[in-house]
Amino acid sequence: MTAWLSPADWSALALSLRVACFSVVVSLPFALALAWLLSRKRFAGRTLVEALLFLPLILPPVVTGYALLAILGRNAPLGHALAEIGIVFAFRWTGAVVAAAVMGFPLLVLSIRVAFDNVDRRLEAAAETLGARAWRRFRTIVLPLSLRGIVAGCVLAFARSFGEFGATISFVSNIPGETRTLPIAIYELLSVPGGMDGVRHLSIVALLVALAAAASATVIAGGVARRDGDD
Amino acid sequence: MIDLSIRRRIGDLDLDVAFRADVRTLALFGDSGAGKTSVLNAIAGLVKPREGRIALDERVLFDSAAGIDVPVAERRIGYVFQDGRLFPHLDVRANLVYGARSGAHIGFEGVVALLELAPLLERQPSTLSGGERQRVAIGRALLAEPHALLLDEPMTGLHAEARRQVLDHLRRLRNELGVFTVLVSHHASEVAALADEVVLLDGGRVAGQRTRAEFEAIAAAAVPYAQP
């Protein structure tokens, strides 16, 4: 009897989880900073920043992948400069992280921005009268009161990254054990005779991961709501 | 001592207020929309006057001519807002110590005793009554060791018993701590109970400045500024 998941399938699942986790962790600080800027500051070029932010949601993912290749590929100026100091993204799992992070970034920023917008500014003013400067107000008031939105954004970005296909395959291709993520493995199995069992099994795994992510988000959000006395 | 002279347009209100007082507790009294809270916000630095000067004792907080505008976080003004504004994600203890300074006048235990907060320390703000919330807000402001305490309608929305309790605590505060306090109220009874001197505000202007005795006489005669 063949195993329910082959070693290659396990490898694709582990890689997808790693890529999704890393992409959220890496992009979260940038998303927090940008969401705060968009929520609290008026600055020149704000509309352009917002338009650029939405681009990965609007562009075909394959185009985003191609753009990443054009910017970070070994032959691109930036990619070449980074390669000189030992940082290579193209055709590496780290490149899959970049692709996933770029695709999930707008969802992360939008969720966090809405959460920041909903924090009562009067509480920040109260903290300020108590001697709290900007960073402390952000850390102790804005951040904890936005936790539900931040968690929701992380789950959305994780889910988007976990399912990322187009930008990843364009930027880092399909290299078993290196860039062959779960969606790419499913796509490959679809074109292999007798691969439908594997497709079914990996699809069920993808469904379970999505359910687990959604459930954990609900549990965390519930805990935060109880803490804040919202229920 | 406070020396204040500010001008600023806020919505429909053309605020042009100037007064000077050397008392322990000063009240700003007037109808809604008279500019009382705007004056408090200017003292705290939450509203920037177009021009003017605000000094507490010899400390200049704002002076448009000299280009001085001390940041809110550095003003050391304890502000008790009308709605308390407790941080909903922190329990009472954490709210109290949020801005606490190690050299506070009476320290954490002193504030807890003065305002009878011990039974509330582990509770979340959402479980507190209005009066309890205001007492915590007052304690939180005191622990930041303020140079001045601003009380914005601290008894609004409280039922009679809670009002009496908060009033008693504010009286004890005035008698035991001696922190310069500015009280905003449109209730003559609260003002008469707490203030040494009263600035009467009307439509963004100072309509008069009275001692407590003079104010009580006005209130008793039930002329313009006397309200239940």
State ipTM.
0.89
Query: d(Cα A65, Cα A60) in Å, to the nearest integer?
Result: 9
Cα angle at A90 between A89 and A94, to 5 degrees? 35
Task: State mean pLDDT over B50-63.
Answer: 95
Query: d(Cα A7, Cα A43) in Å, to the nearest integer?
Result: 51
Measured torsion, CA atoms of residues A162, A165, A168, A173, in degrees rounded to the nearest 10:
120
Who among A132, A141, A145 is closest to B73 (CB)?
A132
DSSP per-residue string spanning B35-51: SHHHHHHHHHTSS--SE
- Residue A21: pLDDT over 80: yes
Query: d(Cα B111, Cα B172) in Å, to the nearest integer?
Result: 11
CA distance B210 to chain A (A): 29
Site from A119, A130, A136 to mutate, B interface, most B CB atoms within 10 angstroms:
A130
Out of A131-135, A197-201, B17-21, B86-90, least confident range: A197-201
In the DSSP assignment, the letter for residue B211 is E
Who among A129, A131, A229 is closest to B127 (CB)?
A229
- Residues A55-99 have pLDDT tens digits of 999 999 999 999 999 999 888 989 999 988 989 898 899 999 999
Give bridge partners of residue B184 from the DSSP assignment. B28, B152
Q: Which residues of B touch A132 (CB under 8 A)?
A: 73, 98-99
- Residues B133-189 have pLDDT tens digits of 999 999 999 999 899 999 999 887 777 777 888 888 888 878 888 889 999 988 888
The answer to whether residues B60 and B50 touch, using CB atoms and an 8 Å cutoff, is no
**What's the pLDDT at A229?**
65
Closest CA to B85 of A137, A120, A134: A120
Give bridge partners of residue B55 from the DSSP assignment. B3, B60
Question: Per CB distance under 8 Å, which residues of B are interface residues toward A?
Answer: 44-46, 72-79, 81, 83, 85, 87-89, 98-99, 101, 124-127, 140-141, 144
Q: From A145, which residue of chain B is nearest by alpha-carbon distance?
A: B89
Who among B46, B72, B89 is closest to A227 (CB)?
B89
* Cβ contact, residue pair A227, B124, below 8 Å: yes
- Residue B105: pLDDT over 70: no
**What's the pLDDT at B228?**
41
- Residue B104: pLDDT over 70: no
Task: State mean pLDDT over B198-205.
Answer: 94
Identify the residue with better confidence: B162 or A30: A30
In the DSSP assignment, the letter for residue B62 is E
CA distance B61 to chain A (A): 13
**What's the pLDDT at A49?**
94
Q: From A135, which residue of chain B is nearest by alpha-carbon distance?
A: B73
CA distance B104 to chain A (A): 13
**What's the pLDDT at B162?**
77
Average pLDDT over all residues of chain A: 91
Who among B44, B83, B126 is closest to A129 (CB)?
B44
Query: d(Cα A64, Cα A56) in Å, to the nearest integer?
Result: 7
B115, two tokens: 């305002």
